[in-house]
Chain A
Amino acid sequence: MGRKPRILIAKPGLDGHDRGAKVIALALRDAGFDVIYTGLHQSIDDIVNAAVQEDVDVIGLSIYSGVHVPATKELMEKLKEAGLDDITVIVGGNIPPKDRKVLLDLGVAGVFPTGTRFEEIVEFIKNRVNGDGEGN
């Protein structure tokens, strides 16, 4: 009952822009979530392993280099293979509007481009993860 939502903030690939990842990690922590940050230069396998090890409810990918579609695609596939498709995946960073739908179609729960308000992300995660049922 009522464990804090556990969130993995992950930086897939070689992109070194981690201001957004660190900022959202701090914001989610202040909102009362358990937050784990992977650090830079993670392969998708690294991220899936970290998600298992840390037993997270949510994975947040932070991407500024333009690889959001292929990186997300691979993550969704590998989560499925590992039987982890109950994990909620959200994506943030430099995401052009036209790619929002592409990401949602891949099975991502939410897309939060640069500049999204913290409370929007916090509310989203609470609604998805919190104990009141099967998510929305």
Chain B
Amino acid sequence: MAKEIKEEDLRKVVLESGIEVKPIYRPEDIAHIDYKRDIGDPGEFPFTRGIHRFMYRYRPWTMRQYSGFGTPEDTNRRFKFLIEHGQNALNVAFDLPTQNGLDSDDPLAKWEVGRVGMAVDTLKDMEIAFDGIPIDRISTSLTINATAPIILAMYFVVAEKQGVSLKDVRATPQNDILKEIIGRGAWIFPVEPSVKLVCDIIEFCARNAPKVYPVSVCGYHIRESGATPAQEIGYAFEIAKTYIDRVLERGLKVDDFVPRFSFNFDIFGNMFEQIAKLRAGRRLWAKIIRDEYGAKNPRSMQLKMIAGGGGAGLTYEQPENNIVRAAYYALVSALSGTQTMALCTFDEAYTIPSEKASLLALRTMQILMEETGVCDTVDPLGGSYYIEWLTSEMEKKIIEVMQEVRDWGGMMNAVEKGYIQAKIARQAYEYERKIQSGEIVKVGVNKYRSEKEEEREIELYDLDLEAVKRQIQRLKEVKNERDNSKVKRCLEDLRKAIKRDENLMPYIMDAVEAYATVGEITKVLKEEYGVFTEPPIF
């Protein structure tokens, strides 16, 4: 006679965030949850089910593939290509020199001009990149952090030149330097002045450009660097609170600027854990903003996000498998109730996205949106015994993470001392060990591996060296044509404003309008603020 299988006989399942999962959930598992108090209808506090009443039934998510490479002309063509194919928003990638405040002719910029994004030296480059693109009708995400004040200032000036008022500009500079120090590496200045610059943008936009989302707090890169899903949300919230606290000190009220906070989260790994983390995140954020900060405007309490397929889930082996992974990540993002979606493309372990791979990612989202019915009903997993139980458990874990940051003396201190960097590097190592031991399965890597490694047909991006020369040539021309005494004056005004600790945005706008370069402006900031030194983490 067959032996009856008992629950204890089954393999144990523990999620990355440290939550043990049972094989079956029942009504008693969610008996402690009160629908009105803890879940609520979509569009109602605490927004667990979504920040809008009808969500995708009324307005499907925005699709925003990360793109930008080479010269501004190349990028302009790719933007137009994506818009032609139905993308309704842009997500601009900048090259590493631009992200690090170096001009294309800087010796430290060699090899990197235009390689992983668009090269920007002066306003001229942004004028070319957005030529023929209606800034008042397209919302643009600028993936830029340490030099965000410069690039956003350029975007504002381009808008004004197109006849679009700052009040109508819809943009999202990433502008999250703390995550850059934790996990993405494009930092320049020490922690304190870096955070001041973040807050300059938030304050300036609250007062002058109300449709801009002045910061996109990125749990994404922290998770990509080794954080668990609970840490991803918890650290992002502590970062966001750091910015909020600083901006409140400048005399703005929470409802003046927090409605325009946005977040960037990462999807890979256990799908239910990701869905629960974002539902829990919405609930917790709403409570924090209402109860700790006393917000009255529900829009302040709504956790707005871009969530999409992350690179850390993708593999170098059998790269076509990544197409399938990205499709699942897209589904998970949709089931999580994101406002905006982007997918890492299948070729990203090899190269920056090819046109073909970008288009495939866009089609992946379109198929999901148009063919599967995923947009028909809001939060279709809401009320599931498992999902609601897991949402509550994730909320508890996130709260624990946030408490640990406070025990470290707050986010600024934790980042300055490298506590978070050390912790997630250790976790990334443990995670990789589990992949190598087979404890975490990656198809094509540690299971179902092809013995014969077939020729990989990846279309690689080759940097166009002629384009790099043209970029440097243009920089030279702009410098020759501009009014150099005006540039000098603007940079001196900026330096004085730094010494007076004013909001620097107006001074940076003047400087970029005079065609001061990214490198020149950054140099002034570096001279006044110094540069960040990484804490040793092992």
User: Which of A51-59, A78-86, A93-101, A124-132 contacts its partner?
Assistant: A93-101
Q: Is B226 an interface residue (CB 8 A)?
A: yes
Is A71's CB under 8 angstroms from B537's CB?
no
Q: For B460, list chain A residues within 8 Å (CB).
A: 96, 98
Which of A25, A66, A119 is within 8 Å of B463, CB to CB? A66
Chain B proximity mask over A24-35: 1 for CB below 8 Å, otherwise 0: 011101000000
Which of B350, B425, B432 is within 8 Å of A96, CB to CB? B350
Q: Is B209 an interface residue (CB 8 A)?
A: no
Chain B interface size range:
35 or more
8 more A-B residue pairs beyond the given contacts A18-B225, A40-B185, A94-B349, with a C-beta to C-beta distance below 8 A: A14-B100, A14-B102, A16-B96, A19-B428, A22-B428, A39-B534, A114-B349, A115-B317
- Complexed CA–CA distance, A117 and B317 (Å): 13
Q: Which residue of B lies closest to A21 (CB)?
A: B425
Is B456's CB under 8 angstroms from A97's CB?
yes
- Complexed CA–CA distance, A89 and B184 (Å): 25
- Complexed CA–CA distance, A119 and B436 (Å): 9
Is A16's CB under 8 angstroms from B316's CB?
no
Q: Which residue of B lies closest to A37 (CB)?
A: B538
- Complexed CA–CA distance, A50 and B461 (Å): 32
Q: How far is the CB of A63 from chain B (nearest CB, A)?
A: 10
Chain B proximity mask over A82-126: 1 for CB below 8 Å, otherwise 0: 000000000000101110000000000000011101110000000
- Complexed CA–CA distance, A114 and B350 (Å): 9
Main secondary structure of the interface of A (DSSP, over half): loop
- Complexed CA–CA distance, A97 and B453 (Å): 11
Q: Is A17 an interface residue (CB 8 A)?
A: yes
- Count, chain A residues at interface, CB 8 A: 33
Q: Is B262 an interface residue (CB 8 A)?
A: no
Is A14's CB under 8 angstroms from B96's CB?
yes
- Complexed CA–CA distance, A105 and B426 (Å): 34
Which of B110, B185, B316, B432 is within 8 Å of A15, CB to CB? B185
Q: For A13, list chain B residues within 8 Å (CB).
A: 96, 111-112
Is B111's CB under 8 angstroms from A67's CB?
yes
Residues of B177-192 contacting chain A, CB below 8 A:
180, 183-187
Which of B102, B112, B184, B226 is within 8 Å of A65, CB to CB? B112
Q: For B436, list chain A residues within 8 Å (CB).
A: 117-119
Is B538's CB under 8 angstroms from A23's CB?
no
Chain A proximity mask over B406-447: 1 for CB below 8 Å, otherwise 0: 000000000000000000011011001100100000000100
Q: How far is the CB of A48 from chain B (nearest CB, A)?
A: 16
Is A71's CB under 8 angstroms from B111's CB?
yes
- Complexed CA–CA distance, A97 and B352 (Å): 15
Is B108's CB under 8 angstroms from A43's CB?
yes
- Complexed CA–CA distance, A53 and B320 (Å): 44
Q: Which 4 A-B pairs have the closest CB atoms?
A: A16-B185, A14-B96, A22-B425, A26-B429
Q: For B115, list chain A residues within 8 Å (CB).
A: 65-67
- Complexed CA–CA distance, A128 and B110 (Å): 32
Is B425's CB under 8 angstroms from A66's CB?
no
Q: Which residue of B lies closest to A70 (CB)?
A: B111
- Complexed CA–CA distance, A65 and B436 (Å): 24
Is B225's CB under 8 angstroms from A19's CB?
yes
Is B351's CB under 8 angstroms from A19's CB?
no
- Complexed CA–CA distance, A130 and B138 (Å): 60
Q: How far is the CB of A13 from chain B (nearest CB, A)?
A: 6
Q: Is B99 an interface residue (CB 8 A)?
A: yes
Which of B315, B432, B458 is within 8 Å of A23, CB to CB? B432
- Complexed CA–CA distance, A135 and B180 (Å): 40
- Complexed CA–CA distance, A112 and B115 (Å): 22
